[in-house]
Amino acid sequence: MLEHSMVPPTTATDKAEQARWFAEEIQPHESKLRGWLRARFPSLPDIDDLVQESYARLLRARVAGKVANAKTYLFATARNAALDLFRRRRIMTAGAAMSRTETFVKASPIDRAAAAWLARRVRGLTSREQAELARWLQSDPRHAQAFAALELTWSSLDRLKELDVATRNRLEADLPAVPMRRRRQAVLIFQAALATAAALAIAYVGWWRPARAAAPFVEAAATEIGGQRKLGLPDGSSVDLNTDTAVEVAFTAAERRVRLRRGEAQFSVAKSSQWPFVVEVAGVDIRAVGTAFNVRLRPEAVEVIVTEGKVRVADTQKGTSLLAAHTPTEEPLLQAGQRVLINVTMSSPAPETAGPISPPEIERALAWQERRLIIDGTPLAEVVAEFNRYNRQKLVIADARLNERQFGGTFTVSNAEGFVRLLESRFGVKAERTGAETRLRLAEPEISP
C-alpha cells in the first residue's frame, strides 16, 4: 500500500479555501483520472490508493506554491506515482529472487568467464578480442552454452528496458515534462532495477544453463538488393547474408533453427553436439553440429556447399535424408568440399547425389563474401543473371546470339556498368540504356538467310 499524508491547513480560512479549491478544481476530474489510470496501467490493482497518493502529493505541491494548472499537475502526479509503484515492485521482486538464488546457486568459472565476455562485448570488442571470443566459444561446448544462456537473458532485459521507455514515451505524449530532478530520480531508480535484474541473470545462468535456451531467442534480418550483412547469434554462430536475403532465427531449448526465406547466406556454426543447428529452406532441413556451409535458394533448387565439417540434408516434413546413400546402413552426410542441388520444383524435394566441388569452384561460389563476381568461361546469360542479383539497373539480353557467348574475369558485383563498357569496347556489343534497363545486342545486324 502507498503511504500518504494530507497537509493540514494552518487556519480555518486556509482550510475552507483548500476545501473549495479541491472541490472545484480537483474532484470533477476524479472519474476521468481513474479511467485514465486503468487504461494506462491495467495491471495495477491499487487504483484507490494511487488516487489518494496523487491527491496528497498535489496538496503538498499547492502549499509549496508549485501548482499552476491543477488538472495537468494532477494527471502528471498520478503518472509519476504509478511509475514509482511499478519500480518499487520490480526492485523488491528482483531483490527477493536474488536473495533466494544466492542461497543455493554459485556461478561456475565458466559462467563468470561468459559474464566477463558479455560485458566486454556490450562495451565493444576490437578485432583481436572478437577472435579471442570466437576461440573461447569454440574451445568447449560448455562455453558456447553458458554464453548463449547469459546473452539470451540479457536480451530479455533489453526488451524490458525498451518496453519501459515505450510506456514512458506514450504517457509523456499528453502530459507536461516532470521537473529535471524527478527525471534524474526516475532514471536512477530504473537503472538500479536493471542492474539488480542483470545480476540476477548472471546468478541464474548456473541454474538454468543445462536447458540452454529456456528463454527463446527470436530475430529476423534481411538485406536489400546489393546489400550484405553479418548477423551474430548468441551462441557464437554467425550468418553472412548476401544480396536480397531474408532469414528468421528461432532458438529454443531443443534446437537452433534459422529459416532462409530468400536469397543466400553463409553459416558458421558454433559447436554443440547437444544443441542442433538447423537451416530450413524451401522444405529442406540442413542440420549441422559445428561446421561452415553456404546455402542458396535458387528458383528451381536449393544449393548447399560445405566448406568445413559435415551436414545432414533432410526433408523438413518427412525427416528423411535427401542425399543418395552409398550403403544401406550408412546415413549419407554432405562433407567438406562437397555440393548438392536439391530440386524444389516438385511437390516434395527429391533425393540427389552429392558431388565434389574443386577449390576454384568454391572460390567462385563464395566470392560474393568479398563482393566479387568471378566468371570463367561463363555464358553471358548466367553472367547477366548474377549481376542482376546485386543491381537495380537490370541487364537485358536483347539479341539471342549473345546468350551462349562465354566470358571470363573478376568484377565487383556492383559494377555492372563497368562490365557493359567492356562488352562495348572489346566484344562488339551495343548497349541501350533506358530507364531501369540496359539492353545488350550485337553491334552488327543479324544476317537473314
Q: Which fold has domain 371-442?
A: Phage tail protein beta-alpha-beta fold (3.55.50)
SS3 227: coil
Q: Mean of the pLDDT values across residues 124-137?
A: 74
CATH ID of 217-358, from 2.70.98.50, 3.40.190.290, 3.10.105.10, 2.60.120.1440: 2.60.120.1440
Q: Are 263 and 256 in contact (CB under 8 A)?
A: no
Contacts of residue 44, Cβ cutoff 8 Å, sequence gap at least 6: 37, 38, 50, 82, 85
pLDDT value for 54: 80
Per-residue cell: 414:
556492383
SS in 3 state form for 189-204? HHHHHHHHHHHHHHHH
Kindly report the backbone phi and psi dihedral angles of residue 414, in degrees, each rounded to the nearest multiple of 5, phi listed first: -85, -5
Q: How far apart are CA 258 and CA 251, in angstroms?
A: 8
pLDDT at 98 over 70: no
pLDDT value for 164: 42
pLDDT value for 107: 61
pLDDT value for 108: 75
* Residue 55: CB atoms within 10 Å: 20
Per-residue cell: 382:
548466367
Per-residue cell: 267:
553459416
Q: How far apart are CA 169 and CA 161, in angstroms?
A: 12
Q: Are 280 and 257 in contact (CB under 8 A)?
A: yes
Strand partners, 448: none
pLDDT value for 181: 44
pLDDT at 93 over 60: no
Contacts of residue 256, Cβ cutoff 8 Å, sequence gap at least 6: 213, 233, 235, 237, 275, 276, 277, 278
List, for residues 156-191, the tens digit of each pLDDT value. 454 444 444 444 444 434 333 334 444 444 444 444
pLDDT at 5 over 50: no
Which contacts (CB < 8 Å, 24+ apart) does range 417-423 have? 417/393, 419/383, 419/387, 420/395
pLDDT at 196 over 60: no
Domains of the chain, residue spans: 12-210, 217-358, 371-442
Contacts of residue 372, Cβ cutoff 8 Å, sequence gap at least 6: 410, 411, 412, 413
pLDDT at 200 over 70: no
Q: Mean of the pLDDT values across residues 94-109?
A: 49
Q: How far apart are CA 17 and CA 23, in angstroms?
A: 10
Helix (H) or strand (E) holding 366: helix 359-366
List, for residues 226-275, the tens digit of each pLDDT value. 999 999 998 889 999 999 999 999 999 889 999 999 999 999 999 888 89
